[in-house]
Amino acid sequence: MAKKKRSRVTLEQVAKHAGVSRATASLVVRGSSSISKETREKVLKAMKELGYVYDRVAANLRSQRSSTVGLIITEIGNPFFSELLVGVHEALDKEGYTVILGTTFDSPEKQDALLSTMLEYRVGGVIMSPVPGCSVDMVERLKQWEIPVVLIARELPSKEQFDYVGIDNVAGGRLATEHLIQQGHRRIAFLGGFADSSVWRDRKKGYCQALEQAGIEIDESLFIQAFTTRQGGKEAMKQALQHPNPPTAVFCYNDVVAFGAMLGLKGAGMVPGRDIAVVGFDNIQESALFHPPSI
């Protein structure tokens, strides 16, 4: 015999169970501060006992206003994005918004799928770190959706059409390289990241500016591209050490690459900071735990 499908618990049923009006139950669900603590607890208890689940999509349709925001980042395993996620959650939570998180792992296909899914859920806006090499077609699609889009960390080809929140990667790359030059280094490699990323291009630009201002010739063989992971940094450092004229210092795309680079140095029997200077980028909390710290 087929099992009868359980019907969805309605807000009317919750209100009746709690002994309040539907309007009162609705205010509790929406987090209104006008409801007394005693009434709120009665409604919440009724919701739990009946197994009520708030239909947010339906509520958005009724109010014509979404209380959800889509957040698309490259990967949660990168401490930079983990810390960013916490900040986004804290800011949106204060305004009563719920975050729908998606990770692309820098795959254009995953990014497209995530954006489509978030549109289906009628998010009120999207915060995203676009994948490297994101096409102009994607820019046009975002415009057609007519929902607010804020770019973080990375930019798109038509960046003037979207709000952008990020750091000055050119200035950061220049400052990091200037620090190494001030320490007396003239063979400085740039490790990690890929040229199809706006962040990589900007940090490289700052790196080149510092070398040019110091009168140091730019050696493109010292641009060693690699995945922005510990393993990527380790492999990039190995490649740098195999260079016919190896560097005496490395500027790493980010702190995670710097961690891998230092592990690569230790694996080669060398001491980071003594045999080869290492500078990271991002200043994530974990960098303070390494010795020497990834400055």
Average pLDDT over residues 54-67: 56
What rounded mean pLDDT belongs to the chain? 85
| In a domain? residue 266 | yes
Q: Which amino acid is at 267?
A: G
CATH code of the domain in which 21 resides: 1.10.260.40
| 152-190: pLDDT as tens digits | 988 876 655 788 898 899 999 999 999 999 999 999 999
| In a domain? residue 100 | yes
Cα 295 vs. chain centroid, distance in angstroms? 21
Q: Which domain holds residue 228?
A: 169-289
Q: Are residues 21 and 104 in the same domain?
A: no
The pLDDT, as a whole number, for residue 63 is 46
Q: Are residues 146 and 179 in the same domain?
A: no
Q: Which range has the worst mean pLDDT, 149-153, 257-261, 270-274, 287-291? A: 287-291
What is the C-alpha to C-alpha distance for residues 141 and 151, in angstroms, rounded to an integer? Answer: 15
Show which of 165, 188, 210 is a domain's final residue: 165
Q: Are residues 50 and 152 in the same domain?
A: no
Q: Are residues 178 and 284 in the same domain?
A: yes
| In a domain? residue 34 | yes
Q: What is the pTM for the complete model shown?
A: 0.71
Show which of 165, 199, 234 is a domain's final residue: 165
| 278-290: pLDDT as tens digits | 999 988 877 777 6
The pLDDT, as a whole number, for residue 120 is 77
Spell out a b/e string for 161-185, using b for 16 or more CB atoms within 10 Å of the CB, else e. Answer: ebeeeeeebbebbbebbbbbbeeeb
| 8-18: pLDDT as tens digits | 778 888 888 88
Q: Are residues 199 and 262 in the same domain?
A: yes
| 95-128: pLDDT as tens digits | 888 898 999 988 888 998 898 888 877 888 899 9
| In a domain? residue 59 | no
Show which of 129, 145, 165 is a domain's final residue: 165
| 198-250: pLDDT as tens digits | 899 999 999 999 999 999 999 999 999 999 999 999 999 999 999 999 999 99
The pLDDT, as a whole number, for residue 158 is 63
Q: Are residues 276 and 200 in the same domain?
A: yes
CATH code of the domain in which 113 resides: 3.40.50.2300
Domains in the chain, number: 3
| In a domain? residue 6 | no
What is the C-alpha to C-alpha distance for residues 288 and 295, in angstroms, rounded to an integer? Answer: 8
The pLDDT, as a whole number, for residue 206 is 97
